[in-house]
Chain A
Amino acid sequence: MSGTHPTREEDFDLYALGALDGDEKVAFESHLASCAGCKEKLAEANGRIAMLAFAAPATLPSPGVKERLMRQVAATTPEINASSARIVPESSEGIFARWWGLLLPLAGAFALAALLLWLHNGQLERQIAALRGTIQEQASKIAQAHEEAELMSARDTVVVSLAVQKNQPQGTARVLYNSRRGMLVYNGRLAPVASDKSYQLWLVPMNGAPISAGVFNPVSGEMNSMMVKVPAGIAAKAFAVTLEPAGGMPGPTGPMILVGPVS
């Protein structure tokens, strides 16, 4: 293979995977050393293979890892050389005056140390409280990510593209819906609305009135994403987004911005 391109395209992915060995590996590497085109292909293969990491079950590191990392980092940042305190001896000649001269700075140092420890303790408690909040938030996001991942990979999940309606502002959205699980994921980009308005997503069933599936107010330029649980087993005819008074309405009342039929 040396001097000629690898005959099989899969060799790039197999090399990135670390599966090639023996002569195959040697030949691939010797060719790669002198071929810019193959290096580019390998870069793409490296990226594809790196994505396999996402097949791993989601876990979170303990908060202690970040704490240790940040302490390690802080220890390596340039430190300001604290000027050493210089104690000037008192000129008093009496023994009591000399003791006071020693004890007063010591007492002061103890008091200062106690104050610093107290302040530091308060700071640590605030950090711990913040970390607890972060952990809870991460755990909830991970759980949501799992549910979304399962929804996306389920064979009976339908993907519905929502198209913007005539004379309405530009926008785009997609809904993944699984009626068996009673769950949908909305991802969309719409123009921001006035503070007294909200967008509202509707599940339009085959029979009966539209069911509210979430209210949202997008920030300029940002993608909105939400996972919504709805009653299981509803056969959907379409999904739609309407513009409603802030906070949403029990049934659609405003103009229809996006609609997507379930095929």
Chain B
Amino acid sequence: MTGETGTESRASDAALVARIIQRDESALAALYDRYSGMLSSVLNRILRDTQAAEEILQDIFYQLWRTAAQFDPSRGSLPGWLLVIARNRAISRLRRHNPASGESLLENTIVLPATLESTIAQQQLIGKVKGALDNLPKEQRAAIELAYFEGLTHSEIAQRTGDPLGTVKTRLRSAVETLKRNFKI
């Protein structure tokens, strides 16, 4: 994003990952500039602790440096991986668990419905996602946020809010259905 040189800002994620495998530190710096803001935002939202968020942020990029060779672009986009890993680690920290399984660069495939390599694309997505959430009924939005940003399951949300489990399930089902329609890009 910002801080990248003109050449770096045009380089694709896959090209930068290939350079990281060749131990090119400037490629890691370029990917950091491109995605650290996006990851910092979600880490801070989940943890509400700047120091913890920054520790995890550094650790994620260091993991990318160490294990870039494991990254297979055919199994998903890099920002998708980074976002899932960031969320898993932050929620694990929040709930004092060990890092969740599924954060390895080799496991679950993630297909983002949009490319995020440019600042414009990221900005457009911010608008789209915020708009979609704003249009959800208040209770549905609250349930989605409890699940995504606090890592709560159906039952835990019901316990937290005092709502019947069936109601929580219906709200979350309706919310993900609506978001699925709205996130088609």
Contacts and interface: CB of A to CB of B under 8 A. Distances in A.
Interface of A: 8-10, 13-14, 17-22, 24-25, 39-40, 42-44, 46-62, 64-66, 68-70, 72-74, 76-77, 134, 137-138, 141-142, 144-145, 148-153, 187, 223, 225
B109 A152 contact: no
Interface of B: 1-3, 23, 25, 28-29, 32-33, 36-38, 40-42, 44-46, 50, 53-54, 57-58, 61-62, 65-66, 75-77, 79-80, 83-84, 86-87, 91, 108-114, 118-120, 122-131, 133-134, 144-145, 147-149, 151-157, 172-173, 176-177, 179-180, 183
Contacts of A145: 119, 122-123, 126
Contacts of B156: 21
B172 A137 contact: no
A259 to B, nearest CB: 23
Contacts of B155: 21-22
18 contacts: A43-B109, A44-B111, A47-B76, A47-B111, A47-B113, A48-B179, A50-B84, A50-B87, A51-B114, A51-B129, A56-B42, A57-B44, A58-B37, A58-B41, A61-B40, A66-B29, A137-B3, A138-B37
Among all A-B residue pairs, the 8 with the closest Cβ atoms: A152-B127, A56-B45, A153-B131, A21-B153, A13-B176, A43-B109, A53-B42, A54-B129
Interface of B is mostly: helix
Contact of A223 (B46, B120, B151): B120
